[in-house]
Structure 1
Amino acid sequence: MTRETSLRLRKLYDKAALLALITISYNIVEGIVSVGFGAADETLSLFGFGLDSFVEVISGVGIWHMVQRARQGGTEDRDAFERRALRITGGAFYLLAAGLVATAGLSLYGGHRPETTVWGIVVSLVSISFMWLLLHHKTNVGRALNSPAILADAACSRACLLLSAVLLAASAGYELTGIGWLDSLGSLAIAWLSCREGREAFGKAAGMACSCTCGSNG
C-alpha cells in the first residue's frame, strides 16, 4: 500500500468515525427534545419517536466501535461488544414497540387528544433534513472504503427518514384536522417500525447480513 493510499484510507475512516459520533450526538439531543415536548404536550407519537432516538444511540456506539477497529487494521466482522450492543438494541426496540402499542391502545380507548403537535412537525422536519445529509455522506464514505458494514449502516439509516415522515404525517394531520386518533395511529406506526428495527438488530447480531427491512424503503 502506498503512502498516498494509506493517508486516503485514514481520512476516510476518520470521516466515518466522525459521522458515527455526529449520529450519536444528534440522536441524544433529538431524544431529549422529543421526549420532553412529547411528555409536555401529551403527544404519543413524538414521545415514542424520542425513545426510538435513544435506542438508536446504542446502535450508533456499535458502529463507532467497528469503525475504530477497522481504522486500526481490524476486520469488519462483529466482535463481542458489537454483538452485545446489537442484542441490547434489538431488545430495547421490542420493549419500545410493546409499550407504544399498549399506550396507543389505551389512548384510543379513552379518546385521548394531544394539546398540540406543532413540535412534532418541527422535530420531524429537522430530522428529515439532517438524516438525509448523514445518509448521503455515509453512503459516499462506505462506497469509497468498499465497506459493507458502513453501507449497511447508511442504508438502514433510511429508517430514521421513514420514522420522521410518519411523525410528520401524524403531527401535521392532527394540526390540520384536530382528529385525536391520528396521534395514536402515528404512535402505532412507530411501534411497527421499531419492531422491524429490533428484528434487524437481532439478525445482525446473529451474523446475518443487513437486509435493511427498515431501511430499504428508512
Structure 2
Amino acid sequence: MSTTEEKLYRQAYALSLFTIFYNVAEGIISMLMGYEDETLTLFGFGVDSFIEVMSGIGIAVMILRIRQNPDSPKSNFEIKALKITGTAFYMLSVGLLVGIITNLINHHKPETTLWGVIISVVSIVVMVWLMNAKKKVGRGLNSAAIIADSNCTKVCVYMSLVLLASSLIYEFTGFAYADVIGTAGLIYFSISEGKEAFEKAKGKACACDKC
C-alpha cells in the first residue's frame, strides 16, 4: 500500500470516528431539549442520531476491513450491525407513529421549537461537510464502499432539513400540526434507512449508492 493510500485510509477512519462521536453529542442534546420543550420531531431526531452511532460503528469496522483487503466480503459483525440498525430504524418509526397519534388525540403542541432550528442548522452544516469529505477520500481510494457511505449521509441532511422546516414553521407561525408533520417526515426517512440497512446486510446495492 502506498503512503498516499495509507493516509487516505487514516482519514476515512478518522471521519468514521468523528461521525460516531458527533452523533452521540447530537443525540444527547436533541433528546434532552426535545423532551424539555415537548417537541416530538426533535426528540425523534435525537433517537435517530443514536441509531446512526450503531451504523457508524459498522462503517468504522468496514474501513478497517477494506484497508486490509478491499475485495473482502462483509464480516459477520458488519452484517449483524446492519440488521440491528435496520431493526432500530423500524422501531423508531413505530414509536414516532404512536407519538403522533397521542399528540393528535391530546391536541399537544411544543413549548418552543427554537432548539430544533439551532440543532438542525448545525447538523446540516456538519453533515454536508462530512458527506463531501468522505466522498473525496472515497474517490481518492477508488472505494465504492466509502463513496456509497458518503452518499448515504445525504439522508441525514434530508432529516435535518425536515427538522429545520417543521421547527421554523412552528416557531414563526405557531401552526399546531407543524411538529406532527415534521415527525411524519422522520418516519418516512427512518423506514427508508431501515430498508436500506437490511438490503446492505443481504449484499444488495442500496438506493443511496446511486446518488
- For 1:134 and 1:31, the matched residues in 2 are separated by 17
Q: Which residue of the other structure, out of 141, 146, 157, is the alignment partner of 1:145? A: 141
Q: 2:185 matched to 1:189? A: yes
Cα deviation, 1:117-159, whole Å, max 9, x if unaligned, reads: 0000000000000001000100001111111110110000000
Give 1:58 shift.
0.6
Q: 2:187 matched to 1:199? A: no
Give 1:210 shift.
2.4
Aligned runs of 1:88-107 on 2, under 5 Å? 88-107=84-103
CA contact (8 A) 1:89 1:198 kept: yes
Farther off after superposition, 198-207 or 69-78: 69-78
Q: Which amino acid aligns with 1:179?
A: F
Q: Where does residue 69 of structure 1 map in the other structure?
A: 65
Q: Which amino acid aligns with 1:198?
A: G
Give 1:74 shift.
5.2
CA contact (8 A) 1:21 1:64 kept: yes
Cα deviation, 1:169-204, whole Å, max 9, x if unaligned, reads: 000000011112110110111011101000000000
Q: Where does residue 57 of structure 1 map in the other structure?
A: 53
User: Structure 1: which 4+ aligned runs deviate by more than 3 Å?
Assistant: 73-76
Aligned runs of 1:31-180 on 2, under 5 Å? 31-73=27-69, 75-180=71-176
Task: Report the count of equivalent residues.
Answer: 211
Give 1:77 shift.
2.4
- For 1:185 and 1:73, the matched residues in 2 are separated by 45
- For 1:107 and 1:198, the matched residues in 2 are separated by 24
- For 2:11 and 2:198, the matched residues in 1 are separated by 27
Structure 2: any 5+ residue segments left out of the alignment?
none
CA contact (8 A) 1:76 1:149 kept: no
- For 2:72 and 2:115, the matched residues in 1 are separated by 39
Q: Which amino acid aligns with 1:188?
A: A
Structure 1: any 5+ residue segments left out of the alignment?
none
CA contact (8 A) 1:111 1:181 kept: no
TM-score by length of 2: 0.97
Q: Percent same amino acid at aligned positions?
A: 48
Q: Where does residue 210 of structure 1 map in the other structure?
A: 206
CA contact (8 A) 1:86 1:201 kept: yes
Give 1:75 shift.
3.2
CA RMSD of aligned residues (A): 1.3
1:152 is paired with a residue whose SS is helix
TM-score by length of 1: 0.94
1:180 is paired with a residue whose SS is coil
